[in-house]
Structure formats: C-alpha cells, structure tokens
Amino acid sequence: MIKLSFTHRFEPATVPGSRPLLLLHGTGGDENDLLPLGRAVAPGAALLSPRGPVLENGMPRFFRRLAEGVFDEADLRRRAQDLAAFVAEARETYGIAAPVALGFSNGANIAAALLLLHPGVLAGAALLRPMMPLAEPPVADLAGTPVLMLSGVADPIVPAENAARLATTLGRAGADVAHDILPAGHGLSQADVAAVQAWMARTLAGRGA
C-alpha cells in the first residue's frame, strides 16, 4: 500500500476512461467497507477508499460530533480540508481524474462538506443518507456538478427537513441535484444500489478521465 496522508485502499481502473470513485464509509466502517458497493455501481472504475481518521469509542469517522446529529463544525471544516488534500495527493500518485464521491451516512456528510467548502475537488457525489453538514454553509459554485441524494422515508437519524435543506442548498449553488426518498431506514438496501447504478450510468456517461 502506498503511504499517503490517509490509510486507504486503491483499486486501479479496468475500464479506460471511467470516472474514479471516492468511497467514504459510515461510522464504524473502514477502507474496505464500500469496495463491494463501488464495484457494483461502477464496474471497472478506479476506487479510492480512505479510512476516517477520527475515532469515536473506537469507531472510525471522518470528523467529530458532539452528539448524534450535532456536528463539531470546526473539526468538520479542518477534516474536510485534510480530505481535499488527500484527494489531491491521490490524484497525483495514482494518475486519476477528479473523483465522484460515494458516501454513506458520516461519509456522505463529509462529501457534502467537501462540495460546499472545496468546490472542484469532486466531479460529483452520490450521498446516501446525508445530513446538512454546516449551519451556515459558504456560497459555493457547483455549476453543473451532478449530485444524487438518497434518503430513507423511515430514517430515525436524519430528519426529512434536514435532508431537504441540503438538497436545496446544493441546488442553489448550481449543482444538478436528484433527491430520491426510498422506502428504507438509515441502512442501505438493494434499492440504493439500483438507484446509484442507474444514476452513475445516466449522469456520468462521457465524464471520464
């Protein structure tokens, strides 16, 4: 494994011109968690999967929280900057294009923060069960950036209003947002896999390296 600023896994592309994925796990996951999902939704794409550097009761995360649904925004901003720097390192090291993030829960939230705080780092994002990461997000230019948000109608963690506010914020910044509400809770389902597969095929065609 090549040593970069984040512990990570990297799988090279086997389909030339495919857009690489940045896989961002949920609380308690690691760099291996989303590799099967990445392979399923974007066969042949390069996969870059870092491990969250923050521990909460021994469980990796990408940034600190003060309570469930209450984020340490100062830490979030610093960790988003660190993740943006890691993506730049990885792009140079592995020779890949700007990736599309595929994030679940905490990983979706750091991906949303990357979009808002560091426009241009990501070529797009599929956000699975995301929340609004920032109380007062900056004005970002996300013109034309494709974003898929998948929320669960019975999600006990993410309030519907919160997810809707994130979709509105990204849309106002110019992102091309598709926000779907699935018959699910906070966990992922086969419907998520199918929705991301369809979005990747439809939205990212012609956006490869």
Question: Hey, what's the torsion of the CAs at 135, 49, 82, 65, to 10 degrees?
Answer: 40
Catalytic pick among 25, 105, 151, 179: 105
How far is residue 9's CA from residue 126's CA, in Å, rounded to a whole number? Answer: 19
Distances in Å between the Cα of 25 and the Cα atoms of 67, 119, 159, 188 are 19, 21, 20, 12
How far is residue 139's CA from residue 72's CA, in Å, rounded to a whole number? Answer: 20
**Tokens at residue 186, please?**
């906070």
5 is catalytic: no
What is the three-class DSSP state of 34?
coil
186 is catalytic: yes
Catalytic pick among 33, 155, 179, 192: 155
Q: Which residues are CB-contacts of 9 (< 8 A; sequence separation ≥ 6)?
A: 1, 31, 32, 35, 47, 48, 49
Q: Which of 148, 152, 195 is nearest to 176 (CA)?
A: 148
Name the burial class of residue 209, with classes exposed (0-12), middle (13-18) and buried (19+) by CB atoms within 10 angstroms of its CB.
Answer: middle
What is the three-class DSSP state of 180?
strand
Q: Which residues are catalytic?
A: 105, 155, 186
